Amino acid sequence: MRPFFELLKKIIHTGIGRSRFLMASVGLGIAMLLILVAIQVHSNFNQLLYSTKNQNETADFLVINKKITNAMMGQNDKSAFSQAEIDHIKAQPFVQAFGLITSSRFRVVVQAPGDLHFATDMFFESVPDGFLDVKGEDWKWTNGERIIPIILPSDFLNLYNFGFSLSQGLPQISQETVKALPLQVVISGNTGSEQFIGRVAGFSDRISSFLVPASFMNWANEKYGTTREAPTSRVIIKTPDPSNPTLVKFLDDNGYTTNQDKLKFSKTRLIVQTIVSVIGFFGLILLFFAMLVFSMFIQLIIASCKKEIQLLVMLGTAPGQLKRYLLKQFVPLYIIIGVVCLLLLTALQCGTAAILAKHDMAVSPWPGAGVFAGTVLVLGLVYLVNLLTVNRYVNKES
């Protein structure tokens, strides 16, 4: 086939409008680069959010409750989750783990030991152990034990140390001291009361509540519970990405609320996603125009060699031979553009990875599979459009 194509080169001049063709090629290159950058940024974002290397930054626990509005004040059951609502939350794709927060249905009074003269009414809650950020040997309770491990919110001690104690002239207390203090815990219900010793096992940043082991909670609710079954008004979920916009939307749509601070990243992410989408969109537009110019260019070549093509066909040249020849004039260039774009993107990605690494954010220094798939897809699309154009106009002339 080669010597035949050599001769065709002299008959069908593809040099016509070369500068326009080169400009379209540059356009294709830029379009491809924009599309690939959009794909890669998206993949980088996913790596930052979901890869195990960055896990500590993002995977998070959210305590979700219903918004208390003026309309539902005084109607406690309205703030409770029904079974259907719980199932609905569990079914969401962003929920990795789900736990109910069980509240105490008995009265709790806690007294500080010795001459601290501190006593308060309190409540307990419990969550499944998997949701706790405080783990330790002490965190267990079996029936009959007099000592109950308790987890306090970190904020609680901070409120005392930096708010209350200073203004009241009381001593500030360290976490260690609190852990060492035995607290007198009296729980009571309709059937009597019982005294325990509470030991603070740790401080949680995750859940703002007074937590006891689930085994104790179940036992105490059973024995001293004043109501049959307390409705669930708070649930805890583990989500890989609290900034996930679908999560935020889900909460808004259902009138749920959670710690807003944990969701603020979502807005940043939305902005970045928008920008990336716009870049990708411009890439697509540019790609469209590049393909348009290519098509017109092919059309121009075929139209300007109409007589020659007709004579070639008259002499027995198969339309397939002409199509192969014409495509061969363009396809190598597309492949070169694709390779150059990939190389550029690899360089960009290496640079990005190096810069991010300085900020302790790990992304792969190599372009992701999506980028290669994108290159193949764009090249495939351009090839297809070329093929269709060549087919159409060669068939018209032959």
What's the min distance (Å) between Cβ of 398 and other proteins?
A: 6
Alpha-carbon distance of 99 to 77, in angstroms, equals 19
Alpha-carbon distance of 377 to 398, in angstroms, equals 31
Site for other proteins in 61-90 (CB under 8 A): none
Alpha-carbon distance of 48 to 39, in angstroms, equals 14
Read off the tokens for 49: 């959010």
What's the min distance (Å) between Cβ of 13 and other proteins?
A: 9
Alpha-carbon distance of 120 to 169, in angstroms, equals 19
What's the min distance (Å) between Cβ of 305 and other proteins?
A: 10
Pick from 311, 339, 384, 388 the residue near other proteins by CB under 8 A. 311
Site for other proteins in 38-57 (CB under 8 A): none
Q: Would you say the C-alpha torsion 54, 57, 60, 66 has a positive or negative sign?
A: negative
CB 72 within 8 A of CB 79: yes
Alpha-carbon distance of 38 to 49, in angstroms, equals 17
Tell me the per-residue interface mask from 314 to 353 with other proteins, x by CB under 8 A, - otherwise.
xxxxxxxx--------------------------------
For Cα atoms 115, 118, 120, give the angle at the middle one, nearest 5 degrees.
Answer: 155
CA-closest candidate to residue 235, choices 131, 138, 372, 327: 131
Q: Return the number of the residue (201 or 312) whose C-beta is nearest other proteins.
A: 312
Q: Return the number of the residue (14 or 204) whose C-beta is nearest other proteins.
A: 14
Read off the tokens for 382: 């351009």
Alpha-carbon distance of 30 to 27, in angstroms, equals 5
Q: Return the number of the residue (194 or 397) whose C-beta is nearest other proteins.
A: 397
What's the min distance (Å) between Cβ of 314 and other proteins?
A: 6
Total residues contacting other proteins by CB under 8 A comes to 19
CA-closest candidate to residue 302, choices 20, 13, 24, 10: 13
Q: Return the number of the residue (2 or 359) whose C-beta is nearest other proteins.
A: 2
What's the min distance (Å) between Cβ of 12 and other proteins?
A: 10
Q: Return the number of the residue (274 or 395) whose C-beta is nearest other proteins.
A: 395
Site for other proteins in 5-34 (CB under 8 A): 7, 10-11
Which residues make Cβ contacts (< 8 Å) with residue 323, sequence separation at least 6? 387, 390, 391, 394
Pick from 300, 313, 333, 353 the residue near other proteins by CB under 8 A. 313
Site for other proteins in 279-308 (CB under 8 A): 308
- By CB under 8 A, tell whether 398 contacts other proteins: yes
CB 129 within 8 A of CB 204: no
What's the min distance (Å) between Cβ of 295 and other proteins?
A: 22
Q: Return the number of the residue (88 or 396) whose C-beta is nearest other proteins.
A: 396
Residues lying near other proteins in the complex (CB under 8 A) are found at 1, 3-4, 7, 10-11, 308, 311, 313-321, 395, 398
